[in-house]
Amino acid sequence: MSSAQPVHSWDEPAGIAPRGTLVLLPGRGEHGGVYERFGRRIAADGYRVRTLGDASSAPEAVAEAATKLLRDETLPGPVCWSAPTPGPPTRRGSPPSTPPDWTR
């Protein structure tokens, strides 16, 4: 994913066993930094939080980043996904050329 759309991350505090991972797909026109307060709060409860970039402007890059997160064995499971907008996180409903495997 380009530097214009980083993956934002917040981790559990030192000494706390991780309970899982939450991956947030921002709404159209948003970036992952919008969820900083929420990410810090959830991380304080022992979860690792990752937010992706704006899928409406770069669906293939976001799909690639999502796939990398799913394959990242250092992230504790279960891995849960959340998106604020209905439907797939893609530009106007058109799927990316290679959709990520959302089954982990």
Strands of the chain, DSSP E: 8-10, 20-24, 47-51, 79-82
- 1-52 pLDDT, tens per residue? 344 467 899 999 999 999 999 998 887 778 788 889 999 999 999 999 999 8
User: Does the pLDDT value for residue 89 go beyond 50?
Assistant: no
Say if residues 10 and 40 touch (Cβ distance below 8 Å).
yes
Q: Give the predicted TM-score (pTM) of the model.
A: 0.73
